[in-house]
Structure 1
């Protein structure tokens, strides 16, 4: 099968022919139909997060089950599925405490390194990415890395739910636990931030402030529920937010992964409010906050893959889309082939468009 391979950080991906073995145990072989290009992939491609190479990146995808291992009970060939990197075991303390997204059981979530699933004639060994490696025509994954979905859901939109939508929407609903009428500011309106804006609107937020430098993204955020948009080039975003919400916002959702914007998110929150950091802050970088502010019960917290349970959250998000409440049609700016993947990431780095998705034929 064809796959995009990263040989070294800060180099272009190379399309190679590789092999994938048959499923065993609880493994599922999935034909990749669509895979989204996510900013998290770019962080690894640029070396901001370490990972053994060569590897096949990609983690936001939807497809069709082709074959299953003998111990699989959840899906069967022909089922439509969304993949998720938050594979869970269902038996550890975090899973049983209602937090399967942060399951750390090595039996289902092995350490990064050489895999037995992917192979080629070259050396060194080929590495799998986040248990998925979706920039390939097929994926071999644990059955607990899949959510089975209804077949009338378009798979290109379903792929977006695999990371960006689940992460942004869940950060608002599950992690921040926004209540109807509360105010929220979203910093960075890429895919994750746009899902946070739309999620806040669906959840009945009062004031929804969308912050982004790109005028097209600010315009789209307004269509998806933002009541006010802010351009950071007009001045300090904290000051601009406090002009709109003098006591601060109940929730600030940071979707860029920058030290500066993470600290700004905390500073714009009200007493008793919270800043939820969704963006991937570069490895080893510390975030500083005013310790006195913590006395007033202001919170600084992270959110991983929406902070919920993707097996239940993903089908619910699909229902919201089919009811025309969750807006996904506006997300996809371009459908590209696997061979055009480097052009897709170049567009992402340039800040053009919303989401490119790879269409496998």
Structure 2
């Protein structure tokens, strides 16, 4: 099968012929239909996060089950599925307390370098990425890295739910717990940020402030539910948000993964407000807040994959899409081939569009 391989950081991905073994116990072989290009992949391409190489990247995808290994009970060949990097065991403390996204069982959620699912004659080990490696024509995964979905859901839209939409929507609805009438500021209007905007609108937020330097993205944000738009190039976003809201927002959702914007998110919250950091701040960087501000019950928290349970959340998001409340059609900027994957990341770097989707 064809797959896009990252040899070294800051080099283009190379499409190679690789293979994978047959499914073992509780493993599933999926024919990849669509895979989204996520900014998290770019973090690893640019070396901002460590990972053993060479590796097949990609973690946002949807496809059709081709084969199942022994002891698989959840899916069967022919099922339509969404992949999820937050593979869970179902038995650890995190899973049993309702937070499978941060499952701690490394026998199921294999750490980087441990998986032996990809085979390649050019290397002793071709590493898997996020237990998925969706930039390939097939994925061999644990059954708990999949969500079975209804057959009438378009698989290109379903792929978006696998990471970006689930993460942004869940950060608002689950992690932050936005209530009807509350004010929300969303920093960064890429795929995750747009999902946060749309999620805040569905949650009934009274005021939704979309913040980005890209005018086209800000205009799309208004279509998805933003009541106000703000370009940081026009002035200090903290001062402007606090002025617009009379002291700050109930919730600030940071979707860029930058130290500066993470700190801005906290500083634009009101007393009792919460800043939720969704973006992946580069490894090794610290976020600084004024300790005095914590006296007024302002909170800073992270969110992993939306903070919920993806086997219940993903089907619900599909229903919202089919009801025309979650506007996934507006997410897809272009459909590309696997051979065009580097062009897709170039478009991401330049800020063009929301999501490029690889069509296999």
Same fold per TM (> 0.5)? yes
* Residue number in structure 2 paired with 1:144: 144
User: Is the 1:114–1:126 Cα contact (8 Å) retained in structure 2?
Assistant: no
* Residue number in structure 2 paired with 1:97: 97
* Residue number in structure 1 paired with 2:312: 312
For residues 116 and 209 of structure 2, what CA distance do their matches in structure 1 show? 46
For residues 246 and 282 of structure 1, what CA distance do their matches in structure 2 show? 32
Q: Does 1:199 align with 2:227?
A: no
Q: Count the aligned residue pairs.
A: 360
Q: Does 1:264 align with 2:258?
A: no
Structure 2: which 5+ runs fail to align? none
* CA displacement at 1:164 relative to structure 2: 0.3
More displaced, 117-126 or 64-73?
Answer: 117-126
Structure 1: which 5+ runs fail to align? none
Counterparts of 1:127-138 in structure 2 under 5 Å? 127-138=127-138
* CA displacement at 1:114 relative to structure 2: 5.1
For residues 137 and 110 of structure 1, what CA distance do their matches in structure 2 show? 21
For residues 133 and 139 of structure 1, what CA distance do their matches in structure 2 show? 7
For residues 122 and 352 of structure 2, what CA distance do their matches in structure 1 show? 36
For residues 100 and 124 of structure 1, what CA distance do their matches in structure 2 show? 32
User: Is the 1:55–1:126 Cα contact (8 Å) retained in structure 2?
Assistant: yes
Deviation by residue 1:143-194 (Cα, 9 ceiling, x = unmatched)? 1000000010000000000000000000001100000000000000000000
For residues 72 and 188 of structure 1, what CA distance do their matches in structure 2 show? 40
Q: Does 1:15 align with 2:51?
A: no
User: Is the 1:42–1:345 Cα contact (8 Å) retained in structure 2?
Assistant: yes
For residues 244 and 324 of structure 1, what CA distance do their matches in structure 2 show? 30
Deviation by residue 1:44-69 (Cα, 9 ceiling, x = unmatched)? 00000000000000000000000001
For residues 56 and 14 of structure 2, what CA distance do their matches in structure 1 show? 10
Deviation by residue 1:74-122 (Cα, 9 ceiling, x = unmatched)? 0000000000000010000111011111001011111211532101111
For residues 168 and 91 of structure 2, what CA distance do their matches in structure 1 show? 26
For residues 181 and 243 of structure 1, what CA distance do their matches in structure 2 show? 18
* Residue number in structure 1 paired with 2:237: 237
Cα RMSD over matched residues? 0.6
For residues 358 and 103 of structure 1, what CA distance do their matches in structure 2 show? 29
For residues 220 and 243 of structure 2, what CA distance do their matches in structure 1 show? 23
Deviation by residue 1:271-295 (Cα, 9 ceiling, x = unmatched)? 1110000000000100000101101
